[in-house]
Amino acid sequence: MTLDLSPIYNFFALPMNEQVYLFLLYFAWIPVAFVILYGAKELWVDYIQGKWAAEQKYILLAIDIQRGNEQSVKAVENLFVYFGGAHGTFSLIEKFWVGKHQLGFSFEIVSIEGYTQFLIHTHEAFRNFVETAIYAQYPDAEITEVDDYVEDIPTKYPDDEYDIWGAEFIYSDPPAYPIRTYKDFEDTAAGKPELQFKDPMASLMDLCSSLGPGEQLWYQMIIVPTDFEWTKELNKEAGKILNEKVKAEKGSFSKFFGEIKSWIDEFTEQAFSWSMGSFAEAETADDALKMMNLKPQEKKQIEAIQNKISKIGFEAKNRMIYVAKKENMNKPKVVNGFVGYMKQFTDWDLNGLKPDMKKTATSTSYFFKEARVNAKKIKIMAAYKKRSDFLGRLTKVFNVEELATLWHFPIESVVKAPLIQKAAGRKAEPPMSLPLSEGAVSEAALYPEDEDIFGGVDLKESGANHEEKEDDNKIKDKRGDLDEIFSIEEDINKKYPVKKIKIAPAEAKSSPPSNLPFA
C-alpha cells in the first residue's frame, strides 16, 4: 500500500496567493458553520426556556419577623445555605426540548413612602420550602402572600407622572475576591455585647424611613442555586497570585490545545534547565519559598479566596430602582444614599460593589442622551419586574456569607429605624383535640374588676356555686380559708419573688400607604 502525497506537494508548489484562495475556498466555511450552528442553538434555547418560564407561576411573600429581633446575621446565612437545596439537574431532553432551567429566588427590600417591607419572590412550588427555611431560623415570623407592588408603576418611559433611576451593582474586581462581610463589622472594643456589631443595614433602613410621599425605593437580590464548578475558577485566581502553572483540563478543544501548550512549555523549561544547570536549581528552590515571600496583600487575598470557596455559592446579581413622582423626586438623597450603603462592603485589598454605569445605570453622556436614558429605564424596569437573572449584566458568584451581609433582617438593638413591618407573634389555631366545655364561662370570671388576681374574684359569681348561692356565713368561712392560703402564698412570694408581666397597650402605628403590598 502506497500513500500518494502528490496533491499536498502540488498545493505547496502553487504561489502563495493561490494557496490562500484554495484554503479559504475549501476550509473557511467550517468556522462560519460552527458560528451559525452555535447561534441557532442559543436562539432555540432562549426561545424554549422563555416559553417554559412563561408557564410558571410565582408568588410574593412578605416576611415579618418578631419584635425585638436579636438573631444575628448568621441566622440569615444559615437560611441561604438551606436555599442551596433548591438546586436541580436536568436531562438533555428537559433542557433542549422542554426548556427547563434552574429557578431562582428574589430577595427584596421595598420602601414605599417610608414604610419598609422585606419580601421573597419565589416559584409557588417552593412556598413550603421558603416557609420552612424562615421558620427554622425565626420561629415567630409571619409569612403572608401579598400582591406585587411593581404593578402600579409604569414600564414605559418617559412617563407623565413618574420618573426613575436604576442600576445593577457589580463587582469592582474579579468575583474570586469577596466583599467585606458582616464579620468585619464587629467592634470588640465597643464594650457591651449588643453594641459590638455595627449593622450595615442601619444606613439602608434609615434611608428607607426617610422617603416621603410619592417616593419608593426597591432593592432586589436575585440568587440562582448552582453547582460547585465555580470553585475551580477561584482556585485558578489563587494560583495566579502564587504564579502556579495552570494545568489544562480534559474534555474540550480548548482544553486539548491547552494541554498541548503545557507540554511545549514543560519541554522548553526542561531544555532550558539542562542548559542552565545550577541556575535552574536555584529557580526551583526559589519557587519552594514563594508562599513565604508573598506580600501581606497577596496573603490576605489567598486567605479570602479560600474562605469564599469554603462556603456554598450562588449565581447572583443586585439591582436597585428609585421611583418617584416627578414633583417629589430627590435623586441626590436616595441614589447617593444607596450607593453609600453599597460602598460599606468595599475592601480595597479584595473587592467591592459599584453601580454599573456603563450598561445598566439610567444615565449617559454625549449623543442622544434623552433617548438612550429612556431606553435604559425601560430595560431595567422590565428586568426588575420579571425578576430576571439574564437581562442586564451576567450573574456572578456570591457565597452565603456575602449574601447574608447584603440582605438580612435588622437587629433591633442596633437598628432603630421606624416604620418597619414587624410580626406581633406567631399565630396558630388551637388543636382539634383540645377539650372544650359546652357551658359558657362568665365574663366576670375571665375579667375580674379587681386587678389583684387573687382578691378580686367574687366567689358569689364564680365556679360551681354560680347556680346555688351560699349564705354569707359560708362565704365568710371560705374567705377565711382563702386568707390563710393567701398568707402562705405571700410568704412564698417574698422568698421567691415572681416578676409580674403586664400587657402593654397596642402601639400607635402610622397608616401604611395604600399601595403597600398586602394580602
- Please report the pLDDT score of residue 509 as a whole number: 44
Give how far Cα 68 sits from Cα of 13, 198, 342, 376, 423, Å.
Answer: 87, 17, 26, 41, 10
- From the first residue on, what is the mean pLDDT of each consecutive set of 10 residues in the chain (519 residues)? 75 82 83 90 90 92 85 92 92 90 94 94 94 93 94 92 95 94 82 73 92 95 94 90 67 52 58 48 52 82 94 95 94 94 94 94 88 94 93 94 94 64 49 45 42 40 45 52 56 51 41 53
- Please report the pLDDT score of residue 18 as a whole number: 83
Rg (Cα) of the chain, in Å, rounded? 34
Is 248:255 a contact under the CB 8 Å cutoff? yes
State how beta strands 215-225 and 313-325 pair: antiparallel
- Please report the pLDDT score of residue 344 as a whole number: 94
- The enclosing H or E element of 336 equals helix 331-343
Residue in 114, 167, 99, 207 with CA at minimum distance from that of residue 380:
167
The residues near 426 (Cβ < 8 Å, ≥ 6 apart) are 66, 139, 140, 141, 142
- Please report the pLDDT score of residue 451 as a whole number: 41
Is 293:241 a contact under the CB 8 Å cutoff? no
Give how far Cα 168 sits from Cα of 150, 246, 376, 477, Å.
Answer: 17, 33, 11, 79
- Please report the pLDDT score of residue 21 as a whole number: 84
Domain boundaries, the chain: 56-230+313-406, 233-302
Angle (CA) 273-277-283 rounded to 5° is 65
56-230+313-406, CATH topology level: Vanillyl-alcohol Oxidase; Chain A, domain 3 (3.40.462)
Residue in 198, 106, 179 with CA at minimum distance from that of residue 347:
179
Beta-bridged to residue 470, according to DSSP, are none
Is 359:371 a contact under the CB 8 Å cutoff? no
User: In degrees rounded to 5, what are phi and psi of residue 331?
Assistant: -60, -45
Contacts 24+ apart (CB under 8 A), 84-92: 84/225, 84/312, 84/314, 84/400, 85/129, 85/225, 86/126, 86/129, 86/225, 87/225, 87/226, 87/227, 88/225
- Please report the pLDDT score of residue 462 as a whole number: 43
- Please report the pLDDT score of residue 465 as a whole number: 46
SS (H, E, C) 341-380: HHHCCCCCCCCCEEECCCCCCCCCCCCCHHHHHHHHHHHH
The span from the CA of 145 to the CA of 63, in Å, is 9
- Count CB-CB contacts under 10 A for residue 18: 11
User: In degrees rounded to 5, what are phi and psi of residue 137?
Assistant: -100, -30
